[in-house]
Structure 1
């Protein structure tokens, strides 16, 4: 079998999750199945600190269900881990022995430091961020890590999370002033033992886990955010404080109506955000940044790439992975277009003041412009746009993802304007000009290999006197198709760049 499948089971304190990853024949990685069960294991611990036998039975039933899903997918490897709820249970050895004997799964009991390490790996492989703090608020523990230059410097696991805090300080999801004060005092006391938390002020606080994901969804719903993704989503202190102030006095019945808030988090969202806000103040964070990846993603990379799990270039990996998920695109043609687009950009950049990451945008767009053909060739630009904004292109902001998708699917200025109207206020007039310049540049690069034969071996590009001379120094044949295509987009290119593109062979100088 050419595909390789890995099942990751995360036995958390709030929920138990399964993710099935597949490596396709083309070498791409993707999630092909997933399942989640709310367990609230931290709530089930009795007065002796044990998980009762009937609750262990419920856990075993869930794990056997996940095993059946993995068997259905012919998963070659299952890796199951447990975190704080079982780690802190006084009968943890009994739990692990019973689970293994009744499911056949050997559960890895992660330490707090290991949990923080896998969470960091999942985050750092999905974001282009150099320095910051990472917080993972689970059901029974909270991990905080400091990273510098994309390396984990220090981490700590605190033995409290949104479920255990709710159980201790909250009545039916309500958090009164007195309880909030006691909760924050407890966090303050715990943080005092970790002096390093206060020694790097002004860094972003990156959040992973259900609490911060819910926070992002609620915030996006409240401002009618037009882009459907919470990964790499920034939120200010003021916005979090405002949401916290709005949610805290609401009874559970009223919270059910809050857009973006799932019903299994109604009671734990306020205590969870209270933990988040308190740590943000302790570390003096610049702002919050939401990450959609975490522990399970880190476990996948550590399992799939055990020798070198951390990526040097998350964006490059992500773009190449997305391209490999759509192998219908002729790879040699796409590579030729990518090379030509970058060469055109480098030749024209001195004529125009581009923003700092413009070359990265055209590089990404010219690698992915053809992926929509996997749905339908005749309207592939429309499908390319849809696939790009709904795929995980890690390392780009939401605005950059929209820009890349608009450049890759560019047809005309009017169509770009229609797209931008849907995503206001994320894209403005300056962005439309950039989409037009880079979009038509990509169209010219495509025209230069319209026969899809890579007939142009070497190209010399010279902008001068209102013309863009494209000299094919090394070429197979007369390039009749390419020359006709270049002529066809000549007027549109000249309107945007003020240069008329002319493709010539050495004989035509």
Structure 2
């Protein structure tokens, strides 16, 4: 571990699952998760008839928390923050339970209110997603939080004492198939509860961002059953009809059959149906056109507030920029000055050539990010830098772009000619749109040309005049601190591929 890095552990004692995330923050402010833990606790299920958490449950929980504390200690954590949610909040012996857990584990455990849960969830969303207006839903084991974002501010939040575990207990589902009539009853009673908060019904058409285990479990199941090619769960979209189809299929099965389904976690198979019934009721109430999965959650919200606080909520562009900065700090494979020079030149080329080229409105943003990330693969191996860059950008956690746009950015950043681009995008055609390959080629060629103009990595070009001659040549006249033999050779080497994309042959002149 970097000696100048700090490590913090975040523990979320949920009603269904107890989770650990260990975060490392470097002296430059770059962060990543370096360890995780997950225990299916089912605390809501273990509450007695009089609402008590039994001794045996608390003993098991204390043992898990000691294990998590030891993991944090092994990593050199300077701080551990542990929070408890609905199951302990609803327990009749919650004060005694918290004191006992503190005594037996040495951890000071914060008891979150439902509003606290919603707030930390909203922090996670606002720091990792670019949505301006949206509903948020977090379906846990013992509670469901619903929030409303307007203009990237949390304007309303509520917690309901229903979750996937206590709903399964209440309706005595017991692993049997769930009839359409019982599903309708669960949804109807959930909707009756939601109607206590009229604002939930007042903003029809906003996307519904889903946090928590129920939504993640649905997304993993949909990705696997639909052979979805993009690896990241964060940002995955679920259409209204997909929820209906999944709920109908899963509800008709016995528990043993659900546990055999590819993509569906075995320890969630008995509570996924009530969780999805609650989710469908929320979807009906908000009249949202789609569910968008947020891979971040309460632990991430706690981390951002504790370790990387911001005075103001980041704008959508800042979410992407912060994420790009984080990646380049974690994987410093090229000099910062070189990346800044290539970024500047790429955007100058774009601003001169893009008007009239039929490029999408967001394409400048993709080129901006790609030109700061195009060398990231060299942290693995310089010789295969482009392929490693593509792999990292498809698999690392970075935020601010939907899946299709993140894929296009990865294609631009790793561009090495149209044939290689077509090979890379082939497995992902199902999430691309018509014209995306041409767009990625055009932007990739601009980035390749910008990189050629600083091949010596000396930032010699102080200004660049860009002109098109009779629609055939791209004349690049550079003011430079010294001669540019390497840059001139590199521009000549890529001229043929550039012409295929833009119909122009680039020529560099130094004055």
Q: TM-score range by the shorter chain?
A: over 0.9
2:475 to 427, 444, 469: 469
Q: Does 1:219 align with 2:222?
A: yes
Alpha-carbon distance in structure 1 between the residues aligned to 2:76 and 2:282: 43
Q: Within 5 Å, which residues of 2 pair with 1:199-348?
A: 199-306=202-309, 308=311, 310-312=313-315, 313-348=318-353
Residue 255 (structure 1) shift = 0.9
Alpha-carbon distance in structure 2 between the residues aligned to 1:427 and 1:249: 33
Deviations 1:354-377 (A, max 9, x none): 101000110111110000000001
Q: Determine helix, strand or coil for the equivalent of 2:384.
A: helix
1:26 and 1:327 in contact (8 A); partners too: no
Q: Does 1:198 align with 2:204?
A: no
1:187 to 183, 186, 190: 190
Q: Within 5 Å, which residues of 2 pair with 1:1-400?
A: 1-174=3-176, 175-306=178-309, 308=311, 310-312=313-315, 313-400=318-405
Name the stretch that deviates more: 301-310 or 137-146: 301-310
1:447 and 1:485 in contact (8 A); partners too: yes
Alpha-carbon distance in structure 2 between the residues aligned to 1:457 and 1:445: 13
2:440 to 416, 432, 435: 435
Q: Provide structure 1 residue ranges, at least 5 long, that are not aligned to the other structure.
A: none
Alpha-carbon distance in structure 2 between the residues aligned to 1:307 and 1:346: 32
Q: Provide structure 2 residue ranges, at least 5 long, that are not aligned to the other structure.
A: none
The corresponding residue for 1:420 is 425
Alpha-carbon distance in structure 2 between the residues aligned to 1:352 and 1:424: 23
Equivalent residue pairs, number? 505
Residue 204 (structure 1) shift = 1.1
Residue 217 (structure 1) shift = 1.2
Residue 251 (structure 1) shift = 0.4
Deviations 1:196-237 (A, max 9, x none): 111111111111111111111111122211111221111111
Q: Does 1:410 align with 2:409?
A: no
TM-score (norm 2): 0.96
Residue 16 (structure 1) shift = 0.4
Residue 24 (structure 1) shift = 2.1
Alpha-carbon distance in structure 1 between the residues aligned to 2:164 and 2:237: 22
Q: Determine helix, strand or coil for the equivalent of 2:431.
A: coil
Q: Within 5 Å, which residues of 2 pair with 1:486-497?
A: 486-497=491-502
Q: Determine helix, strand or coil for the equivalent of 1:377.
A: coil
Q: Determine helix, strand or coil for the equivalent of 1:423.
A: helix
Q: Determine helix, strand or coil for the equivalent of 1:502.
A: strand
Alpha-carbon distance in structure 1 between the residues aligned to 2:51 and 2:37: 28
TM-score (norm 1): 0.97
Q: Determine helix, strand or coil for the equivalent of 1:230.
A: coil
1:459 to 443, 453, 464: 464
1:170 and 1:179 in contact (8 A); partners too: no
Q: Determine helix, strand or coil for the equivalent of 2:209.
A: strand
